[in-house]
Amino acid sequence: MKKGILETNIVTQIGFVVHDIEKTSQAFADFLGMEKPAWSLTDTIDKTQSTYNGTPCPARAKLAFFKVGPNVSIELIEPDMQPSVWRDVLNERGEGIHHIAFNIQGMKDKIISLEADGMKMTQFGEYTGGRYAYIDTVSQLKTIVELLEND
Amino acid sequence: MKKGILETNIVTQIGFVVHDIEKTSQAFADFLGMEKPAWSLTDTIDKTQSTYNGTPCPARAKLAFFKVGPNVSIELIEPDMQPSVWRDVLNERGEGIHHIAFNIQGMKDKIISLEADGMKMTQFGEYTGGRYAYIDTVSQLKTIVELLEND
């Protein structure tokens, strides 16, 4: 493996897939002694330009965040029933931690380098102010990695 | 659920169970662009006073750590074959993220409060300079929580 492809070693998110974002948000809010955050819905595919396994991905998800450190958040994700890396992991493994994320720069080059090292991008999408990519690092790192690039 | 039992909302560890700590440490080291850390072996039961599900727990594990933020580390855990919350999760769910940890004060009181709220302690142990407890928060938080108390 090429060393330090991401040019960062700071984990910025711990992402969970859940069946009921209201219920699990309330449980985390109570456990952490924080306010229950409002969830937001990911954009439609005309805005996200999302792909999953190389094909257009109209799947959407409800997202909620808890700040659990200076640089790191817990992200709760309740996906809809359409195929996505969220829904497929939720169906296969059940609720739980889905990925860890890193904030990077140079998304295209990073993805090319990772894929050359056998770590394939599975899902990609744009959001207001940036873009994300999920990388299948399960065989190497035992979890999925998400790259986040904010403009 | 009683609110904010832990009196902290800072995640300090993301813990993985793995089959081969050498191999996965090397993969993380390469991925993160960091040195591969040496693993350490947990103490024997005469020092740890460990229990698992209420009975003495002689299980041991190899541990390795990567600092991935100002307050947070990735912990890799390769457990031996004796029953433990590490081995049982590894056998049941395979390799992957096992827990998130919080550094707390007042371990005994925290455990009493959590258990009163239906979150049972499964494994407990002492280490040089502190102690840990794993709490079964899976139904509420979709992952195990570890409490760490350093003296």
User: Kind and range of the H or E element at A86?
Assistant: helix A85-93
Query: Checking DSSP bridges between strand A96-103 and strand A144-150, what pairing results, if any?
Result: parallel
Give all strands (DSSP E) within chain B, no chain letters.
11-17, 40-41, 51-52, 55-56, 61-67, 73-79, 96-103, 121-127, 130-135, 144-150
pLDDT, position B2 = 86
Q: How does pLDDT run across B72-83, given as a tens digit for each residue? A: 999 999 999 999
Amino acid (one-letter) located at A103: N
Question: Which chain A residue has the Cα nearest residue B140?
Answer: A27
Q: How does pLDDT run across B83-101, given as a tens digit for each residue? A: 999 999 999 999 999 999 9
Reported ipTM: the value is 0.97
Question: Which chain A residue has the Cα nearest residue B69?
Answer: A10
Contact list in B for residue A27 (CB cut-off 8 A) is 1, 140-141
Cross-strand bridge partners of residue B145: B100, B135
Could you give the residue ranges of the DSSP H alpha helices within chain B?
21-32, 45-48, 85-93, 107-116, 138-141
pLDDT, position A2 = 86
**How much is the average pLDDT of B97-109?**
98
- Best of B97, B103, B146 to substitute, by most chain A Cβ atoms within 10 angstroms, is B97
Please report, rounded to a whole number, the percentage of residues in chain B having pLDDT higher than 90.
99
**Measured distance CA(B133)–CA(A28) in Å, rounded:** 19
**B121 close to B134: Cβ distance less than 8 angstroms:** yes
Banded pLDDT at B102 (limits 50, 70, 90): very high
Q: How does pLDDT run across A86-136, given as a tens digit for each residue? A: 999 999 999 999 999 999 999 999 999 999 999 999 999 999 999 999 999
The first and second tokens of residue A96, run together, are 């739980």
Exposure of A105 in the CB half-sphere (CA atoms within 13 A): 2
- DSSP class of residue A45? H
Q: How does pLDDT run across B34-87, given as a tens digit for each residue? A: 999 999 999 999 999 999 999 999 999 999 999 999 999 999 999 999 999 999
Burial of A44 (0-12, 13-18, 19+ CB in 10 A): exposed
DSSP A96-128: EEEEEEEE-S-HHHHHHHHHHTT--EEEEEEET
Task: Evaluate if residue B140 carries a pLDDT over 90.
Answer: yes
pLDDT, position B54 = 96
Banded pLDDT at A19 (limits 50, 70, 90): very high
pLDDT, position B129 = 96
Contact A143 B2 (CB under 8 A): no
Contact list in A for residue B136 (CB cut-off 8 A) is none
